[in-house]
Each structure stands twice: as structure tokens, then as C-alpha cells.
Amino acid sequence: MLHLNLVDNHHNGQTASSLPSTNQEGIAISPTPNINLDSINDQLGETEASQIVEWGVDTFREGLVMSTSFGIQSAVMLHLVTQIVPDIPVIWIDTGYLPGETYVFAEELTKRLNLNLQVYQSTISPARMEALYGRLWEKEDIEAFNRYDYIRKVEPMQRALQELNATAWLAGLRSNQTEHRKSLRRVEMQSSRYKIYPILSWSAKDIYKYLSTHDLPYHPYFDLGYTTVGDWHSSRPISAADTNERDTRFRGLKQECGLHLPKTEEEARSLDSSLL
């Protein structure tokens, strides 16, 4: 295991925060360590992805969760993490609009890797949402997409993190995917939780090598020309005209669905530009 100095000097040498030991339902939760982000990111440097995961397990223990989209390359993170902590809660936000192939892919990977899968969905059904707001993904303004993403993705994720008492969240973001992701470090804060990105510096070649070495599958849409896939109505194969693979999502209006953006309105506005 990787052991690093976690103490935030601004907290008088204490490694546990003042969070209560139980949640509102009386269920015990893990204390959140106070981490100096500048210091820990300097220490992690070019540390191997598996060691980043080990650090996360050592630091956050039962407060550590991970997320997956069962997207094109999701098998990498799922395999990497569960080889180290097999029973980690794996959060999957099912929007109700995923391609049929994604559901089959998810079922196959769940069985193969014996995932502790935690599926969360919006409290509003697709039919109810469409009746109230229309087919939001067909509108030509970014606010409609933002409303869609909040209803179908962001709110369910926030609920999942709260119900699972998560203090830290492993995610498979890579810095070459979007402008926002270029700004990330291996360990960040998103609202009140830590975010850990073990494969942030990986290239497409690194992904391919890992999948090949461990005989892991791509999502079946990879063979149809997709480099990233989300909901059926907001994903398409990549074309020669695309300058970034994320241009194939959300009709090019934005690059992020909101799950990996800060929650505060001011921060979200600063990131919600034509580049995101």
C-alpha cells in the first residue's frame, strides 16, 4: 500500500474532520480526513494508477466509492479498482435513455467482475419528464440540456453519494478529454467530497494496452465509430470534422454532463461555456 503524509497543516495536525460520526438516519459514516491538496498532489506526482487507488482505500476506507458509465472504456477503471477493493460500491446512473447495448454491456461486466453495483435513477420517469418539459435534448439551447442532465444524472448522483455515505469518489476521467479535465489534478474537492482520478494522465494508447493485457472489452459501440457514448439521443460516431471526441456528445453544445462539475451555481456558470 502507498503511505503518504496526509496532514493538512492548516488543521493543527488533525487528520479527521468535524463531520458527525453518524448521518441523519443514525448510520455510522467514515470521518473525512483533512488533506492538503497541494501537498498530496505533489507527493503523488507520477504515481502508478493502482497505487493511487490503494492510497484512496487506505485514506477513506469504507467512505470510498467509484462511479461508472459503462461507456466505451469503462472496463479499465472497473477492473483496475476491483482488483484492489473488490466490494467497493460502484455507482451507475441509469438515465433511462441508454442504448440497449449499454445495458447488455453493463450486465456482462457486472457478472464478470462481480461488481457491487449500486444503480440510481431519477425520481422522475422519462415519460413524466417529457410530459412536463418536452424532449429536452431536441431543444437548441444549452439550458435545456442542463435541465435534462440535472434531472437524469446530477440529482441521482448526489443522492447516491449521500445515501452511500461517500467521503471520496474514484472516477475514470482523463485530462485529454475536455478543457475542464485538463485543469484537474489527481486529487480534488468537489463540493464536500474528495475526487480521485487514478488514470487522469493516461493516453488512448495506455487504455488500449490495459484492455489488451487483461483481455477486457470495449463497449460494442466502439466498433461503430464511437469514442464516447452516453444516452442514445445525444451521442454519435466521431467524424473527420470533430476536433475533440467530446464534440460527439450533446450535439456539440457542451462537453460535460454535470456529474464532474462543481455544484455551486457560480462555479457551474464559470465552467458552462462553449468549451464544456
Domains of the chain: 37-264 (3.40.50.620)
The secondary structure of residue 50, as a DSSP letter, is H
Q: What is the pLDDT of residues 157-186, one digit of tens each?
A: 999 999 999 999 999 988 766 666 677 888
Of the residues 64, 76, 229, 257, which is catalytic?
Answer: 257
CA gap 254, 66 in Å, rounded = 24
Residue 135 has what pLDDT? Answer: 94
CA distances 180 to 118, 183, 207, Å, are 27, 6, 20
CA gap 72, 91 in Å, rounded = 17
What pTM was estimated for this model as a whole?
Answer: 0.79
**Residue 22, pLDDT above cutoff 50:** no
Q: What is the pLDDT of residues 30-50, one digit of tens each?
A: 556 788 999 998 988 788 999
H or E element that contains 131: helix 126-133
121 is catalytic: no
**Residue 230, pLDDT above cutoff 90:** no
**How many other β-carbons are positioned within 10 Å of the β-carbon of residue 177?**
19
SS3 116: strand
Q: Is residue 122 a contact partner of residue 96, using CB atoms and an 8 Å limit?
A: yes
CA gap 253, 270 in Å, rounded = 15
